[in-house]
Amino acid sequence: MHELGIASSILDSVEKEALRHPNVTITKVGVKVGELSGVDVDALQFGFECIVKGTKWEHLVLEVESIARLQRCPQCGNEFRMADFDPQCPKCGEFATQCVSGDELDISYMEVDE
């Protein structure tokens, strides 16, 4: 389950940020997870809860934003959500579209109490 490793990396980033700002308490960390990232969001949440349980980070909330896979058509500029693994542009029929989102796995924010 690589989600446990990802959860651990998220916590490592929070700890590093906490060291940089010792006068604040980080209460929430938000991550963006694209549907192409290969991350099971439920497993990530569960793994995160397991690694913070019984630690000084037990209060920390992990908020996950799921990012849909979007394609862009180079022909007409249409952006659309790919369905059934079909990259064809529904507007003009172009088949060679490009993925513009959905592969993210990023920490997007941290909320703090001062």
Write down the domain spans for the chain: 2-68+101-113
Class for domain 2-68+101-113, per CATH? alpha beta
pTM for the full predicted model:
0.86
Calpha distance 17→1 (Å, rounded): 26
The model's pLDDT over 7-64, given as tens digits with 9 standing for 90+, comes to 999 999 999 999 999 999 999 999 999 999 999 999 999 999 999 999 999 999 999 9
Calpha distance 82→97 (Å, rounded): 10
Calpha distance 13→108 (Å, rounded): 12
The model's pLDDT over 55-81, given as tens digits with 9 standing for 90+, comes to 999 999 999 999 999 999 999 999 999
Calpha distance 13→18 (Å, rounded): 9
- Please report the pLDDT score of residue 1 as a whole number: 59
- Please report the pLDDT score of residue 83 as a whole number: 83
Band of pLDDT at residue 85, cut at 50, 70 and 90: confident
Contact in structure between 104 and 70 (CB atoms under 8 Å)? no
